[in-house]
A and B are shown apart, each in its own frame.
Chain A
Amino acid sequence: MSAPHPERPARSEHPARSGSAAHDPFRVWARDLGLGMRFAVTGGREGWIRTLLTAVGVGLGVALLLTTAAVPAMLQARSDRTSARSTDGSGAEPTRPGPHTLLVEPANTTYRWYDITGDLFEPEGAEPPLPPGVSRMPGPGEMVVSPALASMLADPADRLLRERLPQHVVGTVGAAGLSGPKELLYYAGAHGLSQYVGMTRRIDRFGGGFPQDPWTPVLIVLLVIVFVVLLVPVGVFVATAVRFGGERRDRRLAALRLIGADSRTTRRIAAGEALCGALLGLVAGAAVFLGLRRAIGTFSLDQTSVFPSDMTPAPELAALIAVAVPVAAVLVTLLALRGVVIEPLGVVRGATPRRRRLWWRLLVPAAGLAMLYPLIGTVAATGPASSVNRPQVAAGAVLLLLGLTTLLPWLVQTVVARLGGAGPVPWQLASRSLQLSSGVAARTVSGITVAVAGAIAVQAVFAGVAGQFTHDTGQDPASAQMAVDIPVRDGSQVKRVVGAFRTTEGVRQVMGTAESGAADLGAAARARDAARSGHGEQAEDDLSTTGITVGDCATLRQVARIGSCSPGSVFLVTGLYGSPPDPLLTPGHRLDLSVPGTPGATGDGPRPWTIPASARTVTGETDATGYERSGVLATPEALDPDLLQAPQARIAITLDPGVPDAEDLVRNTAVRIDPSDPTTTLHATQEAQRYVSLRRGLMIGAVAVLVMIGASLLVSMLEQLRERRRLLATLVAFGTRRRTLGLSVLWQAAVPMALGLVLAVAGGLGLGAVLLRVVNESVGFDWASVAVMAGAGAGVVVLVTLLSLPPLWRMMRPDGLRTE
């Protein structure tokens, strides 16, 4: 913004009067803005209402901006805390027990739709490390829990959860150890953990570890686009909010012209009024944000909760908002008054609005395209996140979306000009009114247009790159819904475990195998010798091994195409993934079932076993849990499972869909056997965590934006109705049905909305297509979700129209005819 240049004659006068207040542009601006601000608060009831509307609108926008500005810090604080309690280790863990070591086994579990984070602890010395937020180490049979989990455990309705976690609660985990106030987390004491069984590891401190699931360049593009798509509508909304009540204000300004203010002065005064609203809005927005911040600790959305203290905007972003919003308010007002001539005797808007020109309106989106075009094909699926030119992506997308708001007024004007006065009365009233004020109509829906276009584009990109972040698990949830993997002491325990699940309520079918490994008998002996002479590790690593699976015929049939089978049968699966046949897997080969160097198996002697001559080579198959075996498949009659070394019970469970809590009943059975909850629920696909949380964030943001835009739509709709109060009363006086007026209001909202949505779909698809090319994906759209986005936009407009009907009915009361 530049200060207004004095006209030429004024400049020639300047030297003579330099320093006089009337010619110092800063003084003039300050005076007029100040005057405007005074009018904003002293302008009587009308002025107040206008200022309040603007303040509320700007306040909502500011609250949303502040919230967005707080997101990076919030994510950082959360990830700081979760990595501080991490037990993943960095590879430098102690190998032997010491006074400061602790055995840890992750014991995350799932109860209904709640994911519960948990660890089992077994201190090996007197001074084990404590995780953040925990003041005392739980002993065996004890646990410390997060407050949210504590209250859930106390709820009698969650009896099944209490059975899952029967340990005695001896303390709570403080905020320092939680990602959010509603996080479900426990640390339980255990005994008998073994470093070599399952996921157990030995640590001497918490924290550290490698970051998992890093940001890929594509994710960075997605992140940028999500922010753009959420913030551009907020900007448009704020711009709309400072124009609330503009028509009345113009009339007031006309009165100022009458007493001698020139048209620039009136503009500056108008800007001052908007500035006042915007400043109040800043305060209101900060208040709303603080209120939100205070309230946010009390609820969680999709298992994500946030500590109020985490929701702190970066100071530089907060400062930027505090400056940009008032400046934008002044700029928007000056821009909006460009087409309005405020004359001393009233406001001239021109009987026939001037025709809007298309060419410069096309420049904005064209510039956006021009910025995105060079990026096409440059963003790879992997690579350093810094390779992405974020400003260019953001600016291109912003320009493309803003371009829609410049195109929309032209589109609305061009289309409604073609609408005749034909059709029923409500249609006639609506179309005529749109012709006369197409700009207002376009402005009211521009926010929603941008929001929907952005949503369509972002959805397209999300759908396009979904393949990069979703992988096939190979699991078949149709035949089995849960898998359990439990390390057991010996083969006979497998039978016990399978039996335990069979008798669990809600279980229809259980398939269980006992699995372990084997090596060449001679090679194993050599490795043992090497270990005794101190060179064991290399020999153990070089040892080639194969898998051993023991199960009955029915079970083996699920894991390989075995053909005929009877007790005592043995099958060989080799050449998995096209690899050459394993020389170990030949009938008559002598194997050692005790593989030297296997964790937890140190010190065992050899367990020789010969592959029977009857063993047949067969083709393996992926089972319902997505697991494909190779090696020896044997019936228990051919290979006693008790011979297996440190076997694993691998179980697939088919649930009875009629039992509501079947999954939790199975998990409860599982934790009785192994408290680390060895169960998995089977899904055909799995999505990358960052991708999922980004999409979740987008959803939350999109809902907030739609609600906000709906609110602003409602305000401007009511405002337009109030302007027409007297006319409405007159129409009612001469017998107009409510339905007629209601329908005309609906049409008046529906036509620009339809045009806005057409533009939104076109713009969204365009932006989506370009972005898909940018991230190297083929262009394709999921039309159903495009329809959902457009439908959501339409839904907001319809909802707002319905909400504005009761005030319309009230305004249609004949009181409007009374002269004030």
Chain B
Amino acid sequence: MSVARDAQAADDGARPGRRPLLTATGLRKTYGTTPALDEADFSISPGEVVAVMGPSGSGKSTLLHCLAGIVRPDAGVVRYRDRELSAMPDAERSRLRRDEFGFVFQFGQLVPELTCLENVALPLRLGGVRRKEAERRATEWLERLEVAEVTRQRPGEVSGGQGQRVAVARALVTEPRVVFADEPTGALDSLNGERVMRLLTSAARDTGAAVVLVTHEARVAAYSDREVVVRDGRSRDLTREPAA
């Protein structure tokens, strides 16, 4: 990482808006012999909510994993604020995920042994924030996501909707620049799904976070600003293509 690039990145952070925050070009990823991504492109700007849609097995989740630096693509480049994410060593990508990204998944994301409060405080504590301070901020987020009542309970003792809102609180507690949400409402009924989406998108808009939202549900995708369709590992950004 050159000094010039770092300077550019800092500069980029200073003026949010038009410049893309996270871009991907020509991503390829194969699991075994099955191609999951095949020349996929993507881009998201600060504060933007982008829905990634497509049928199951189309490569949506793989795209998200590549964008978030969880998986290294076989080919192609992922850039985050002018730094090449796809070329970073694991430790650096981990740091980035800890400090600048947030995650919400469909299942099994809360640590079952920890209380909800401890779960939300966990990313802050992993980043070195002291326990008291971390739990104070976690409490604020739990309130903001309307789940203050489960603070002391364990994930196994709360409802699916509450659990998912706790997960959203955990994703947002570090005030990340990008939130990656993979089917965040997949296990919820409509009402709870709506509530999670409303809270997620409004909180993200308040903090200026960009949201990459993987979903196959149009009603969920309707909370986005724009959608990208992944089909057979290729992505299409229809919002950008002028309709015929």
Confirm or deny: B113 has a beta carbon within 8 angstroms of a beta carbon on chain A: yes
B70 contacts which of A432, A435, A817 (Cβ < 8 Å)?
A: A817
Confirm or deny: B216 has a beta carbon within 8 angstroms of a beta carbon on chain A: no
Which residue of B97, B113, B131 has the most chain A CB atoms within 10 A of its CB atom? B113
CB <8 Å contact, B114 and A432:
yes
Which residue of A726, A727, A737, A817 has the most chain B CB atoms within 10 A of its CB atom? A817
CB <8 Å contact, B108 and A425:
no
CB <8 Å contact, B112 and A735:
no
In the complex, what residue of chain B is closest to A425 when comparing beta carbons? B125
> Which residues on the A side are within 8 Å of B94 (C-beta)?
732, 735-737
A814 contacts which of B70, B101, B113 (Cβ < 8 Å)?
A: B70
Asked whether A425 and B122 contact (CB < 8 A) given A726-B107, A734-B103, A735-B99, the answer is yes
Q: How far, in Å, is A153 (CB) from chain B's closest CB?
A: 60
CB <8 Å contact, B156 and A735:
no
CB <8 Å contact, B125 and A735:
no
Asked whether A436 and B70 contact (CB < 8 A) given A421-B118, A817-B105, the answer is no
Which residue of A422, A425, A432 has the most chain B CB atoms within 10 A of its CB atom? A425
CB <8 Å contact, B126 and A817:
no
Contact mask for chain B residues 121-141; partner A; CB cutoff 8 A; 1 contact, 0 none = 011011000010000000000
**Docked CA distance A732–B126 (Å):** 11
Number of contact residues on B: which range applies? 35 or more
> Which residues on the A side are within 8 Å of B95 (C-beta)?
735
> Which residues on the B side are within 8 Å of A734 (C-beta)?
97-98, 101-103, 123, 126, 170-171
> Which residues on the A side are within 8 Å of B99 (C-beta)?
735
In the complex, what residue of chain A is closest to B135 when comparing beta carbons? A421
In the complex, what residue of chain B is closest to A433 when comparing beta carbons? B113
Which residue of A429, A435, A730, A737 has the most chain B CB atoms within 10 A of its CB atom? A730
Confirm or deny: A1 has a beta carbon within 8 angstroms of a beta carbon on chain B: no
Confirm or deny: A298 has a beta carbon within 8 angstroms of a beta carbon on chain B: no
Confirm or deny: B115 has a beta carbon within 8 angstroms of a beta carbon on chain A: yes
Confirm or deny: B111 has a beta carbon within 8 angstroms of a beta carbon on chain A: yes
> Which residues on the B side are within 8 Å of A301 (C-beta)?
none
**Docked CA distance A733–B157 (Å):** 24
Confirm or deny: A8 has a beta carbon within 8 angstroms of a beta carbon on chain B: no
**Docked CA distance A646–B115 (Å):** 92
CB <8 Å contact, B114 and A817:
no
Instruction: Find residues 148-202 in chain B having any chain A CB closer than 8 Å to their own CB.
Output: 154, 156-157, 170-171, 182
Q: How far, in Å, is A735 (CB) from chain B's closest CB?
A: 3
CB <8 Å contact, A735 and B97:
yes
Confirm or deny: B45 has a beta carbon within 8 angstroms of a beta carbon on chain A: no
Confirm or deny: A304 has a beta carbon within 8 angstroms of a beta carbon on chain B: no
CB <8 Å contact, A735 and B114:
no
Asked whether A818 and B126 contact (CB < 8 A) given A726-B107, A727-B112, A733-B103, the answer is no
> Which residues on the B side are within 8 Å of A351 (C-beta)?
154, 156-157
In the complex, what residue of chain B is closest to A432 when comparing beta carbons? B113
Confirm or deny: B65 has a beta carbon within 8 angstroms of a beta carbon on chain A: yes
> Which residues on the B side are within 8 Å of A730 (C-beta)?
103, 105, 108-109
B109 contacts which of A428, A435, A727 (Cβ < 8 Å)?
A: A727
Confirm or deny: A76 has a beta carbon within 8 angstroms of a beta carbon on chain B: no
Confirm or deny: B215 has a beta carbon within 8 angstroms of a beta carbon on chain A: no
Confirm or deny: B68 has a beta carbon within 8 angstroms of a beta carbon on chain A: yes
CB <8 Å contact, B154 and A735:
no
Confirm or deny: A740 has a beta carbon within 8 angstroms of a beta carbon on chain B: yes
Instruction: Find residues 54-110 in chain B having any chain A CB closer than 8 Å to their own CB.
Output: 61, 65, 68, 70-71, 91, 94-99, 101-103, 105, 107-109
CB <8 Å contact, B111 and A429:
yes
**Docked CA distance A818–B105 (Å):** 11
> Which residues on the A side are within 8 Å of B157 (C-beta)?
351
CB <8 Å contact, A814 and B65:
yes
**Docked CA distance A298–B71 (Å):** 51
Instruction: Find residues 325-371 in chain A having any chain B CB closer than 8 Å to their own CB.
Output: 351
B98 contacts which of A424, A437, A735 (Cβ < 8 Å)?
A: A735
Q: How far, in Å, is B29 (CB) from chain A's closest CB?
A: 11
**Docked CA distance A743–B111 (Å):** 16
> Which residues on the B side are within 8 Å of A422 (C-beta)?
131
**Docked CA distance A817–B96 (Å):** 18
CB <8 Å contact, B70 and A425:
no
**Docked CA distance A261–B240 (Å):** 57
Confirm or deny: A731 has a beta carbon within 8 angstroms of a beta carbon on chain B: yes
> Which residues on the B side are within 8 Å of A433 (C-beta)?
113
> Which residues on the B side are within 8 Å of A817 (C-beta)?
61, 65, 70, 105, 182
> Which residues on the A side are within 8 Å of B68 (C-beta)?
733
> Which residues on the A side are within 8 Å of B122 (C-beta)?
425
**Docked CA distance A424–B108 (Å):** 23
In the complex, what residue of chain A is closest to B96 when comparing beta carbons? A735
Instruction: Find residues 424-442 in chain A having any chain B CB closer than 8 Å to their own CB.
Output: 424-425, 428-429, 432-433, 435-437
Asked whether A436 and B123 contact (CB < 8 A) given A726-B107, A734-B101, A735-B95, the answer is no
Q: How far, in Å, is B119 (CB) from chain A's closest CB?
A: 10
> Which residues on the B side are within 8 Å of A424 (C-beta)?
125
> Which residues on the B side are within 8 Å of A737 (C-beta)?
91, 94, 126
**Docked CA distance A437–B156 (Å):** 13
In the complex, what residue of chain B is closest to A430 when comparing beta carbons? B113
Instruction: Find residues 397-453 in chain A having any chain B CB closer than 8 Å to their own CB.
Output: 421-422, 424-425, 428-429, 432-433, 435-437
Q: How far, in Å, is B149 (CB) from chain A's closest CB?
A: 16
Contact mask for chain A residues 782-819; partner B; CB cutoff 8 A; 1 contact, 0 none = 00000000000000000000000000000000100111
> Which residues on the A side are within 8 Å of B113 (C-beta)?
429, 432-433, 435-437
Asked whether A735 and B126 contact (CB < 8 A) given A422-B131, A814-B70, the answer is yes
Q: How far, in Å, is B169 (CB) from chain A's closest CB?
A: 13
**Docked CA distance A746–B206 (Å):** 40
Contact mask for chain A residues 725-753; partner B; CB cutoff 8 A; 1 contact, 0 none = 01100111111110010000000000000
**Docked CA distance A736–B131 (Å):** 16
Q: How far, in Å, is A432 (CB) from chain B's closest CB?
A: 4
**Docked CA distance A658–B88 (Å):** 60
Asked whether A733 and B70 contact (CB < 8 A) given A432-B113, A817-B61, the answer is yes
**Docked CA distance A45–B109 (Å):** 25
CB <8 Å contact, A733 and B97:
yes
Asked whether A735 and B101 contact (CB < 8 A) given A814-B65, A814-B71, A817-B65, the answer is yes
Q: How far, in Å, is A530 (CB) from chain B's closest CB?
A: 96
CB <8 Å contact, B123 and A735:
yes
In the complex, what residue of chain A is closest to B131 when comparing beta carbons? A422
> Which residues on the A side are within 8 Å of B61 (C-beta)?
817-819
CB <8 Å contact, B108 and A727:
yes
Which residue of A433, A734, A740, A814 has the most chain B CB atoms within 10 A of its CB atom? A734
Query: Which residues in B have some Cβ–Cβ distance to A below 8 Å?
Result: 31, 61, 65, 68, 70-71, 91, 94-99, 101-103, 105, 107-109, 111-115, 118, 122-123, 125-126, 131, 154, 156-157, 170-171, 182
Give the top 8 A-B pairs by smallest Cβ distance, nearest first: A735-B98, A735-B97, A432-B113, A433-B113, A814-B70, A726-B108, A730-B109, A436-B113
Q: 13 pairs across A/B with beta carbons < 8 Å?
A: A421-B118, A428-B114, A432-B113, A435-B113, A436-B112, A727-B111, A731-B111, A735-B97, A735-B99, A740-B126, A814-B71, A817-B70, A819-B61
Q: A727-B112, A734-B97 are in contact. List 7 more A-B contacts (CB 8 A).
A: A351-B154, A429-B114, A726-B108, A734-B123, A735-B101, A817-B61, A818-B31
